[in-house]
Amino acid sequence: MPSVDFQKTVLEESRRRPVVVDFWAPWCGPCQSLSTLLEDLSKTSDGHWSLVSLNIDEHPDIVEQYTVRGIPDVRIFHRASSIAGFTGALSKEKVMTWLENNLPDDNLQHLQELQRTYTNQPQAFSTALEGFIDQHQDFKTAKVLLAMEKVWSSPQQAVELIGTIQEGHKEFEKAEAVRELSRLMLLEEDGQPSVYQVLMEAKSAFADNNIKSGAQKLIEAISIDKNYNQALPKKAALALFQILGKQHPVSLKYRPLFDMAIY
């Protein structure tokens, strides 16, 4: 493994995005498995952070500067400073929790600011999100949010936005919800008029931004045939609750009715 240009790949890069530094050595057994784990996690980070593996035998000056006393030693660098770290081999779950709790995310903070700024202004929020995504093409959280906004009016575009999000990604469940609701919004007649008609009424309600009426029609469709079209009524209802969140008034009212209709 080539020597690391610490100034460039860690300190300078950390001014653009967080850098996780893995201090290791070839003779350290636990380092091998942890390094592999960190490499796997970095590949699914959507570019939110970068990983630098630093062989302590080749960089004694950096080891001394950052007081590395034992390995494996993992640090997060942000804006040219070490802001968090741990020593020893941890399980995948513990490493993921550590990263989640300690990685700064300027993009996420910006996204949250947009949400606060455009509360109850869906069209303005969508426009702001589109501009944000133009500048952050790899930020899938923003794409999921935009897909959730677009699913009622432009379901095909919503599907395209979340097309690369696969199982294992932190936004996968929301992406799946968008896919199921897109199936509903793209539904075409297929010869079963009873349940189909109710689903079309749900589709129309959602297109008119009448979420409450749409949810009611989904419950009605479940009562008629919950397994219709690959369980579309059931899956669309679950997708709706996923996107709205547990505390949304529609979820609070219709999730118990959904449970009753299913069983």
| Catalytic residue list | 28, 31
Burial class (CB in 10 A: 0-12, 13-18, 19+), 43: exposed
Lateral strand order in the sheet of 81-87: 50-55, 19-24, 73-78, 81-87
> CA nearest 187: which of 177, 201, 176, 172?
201
Helix axis angle for 193-207 and 172-185, nearest 10°, is 110
- If phi > 0 it is left, if psi is from -120 to 50 it is alpha, else beta; for residue 151 that is alpha
What would the two tokens of residue 50 be?
A: 């970068």
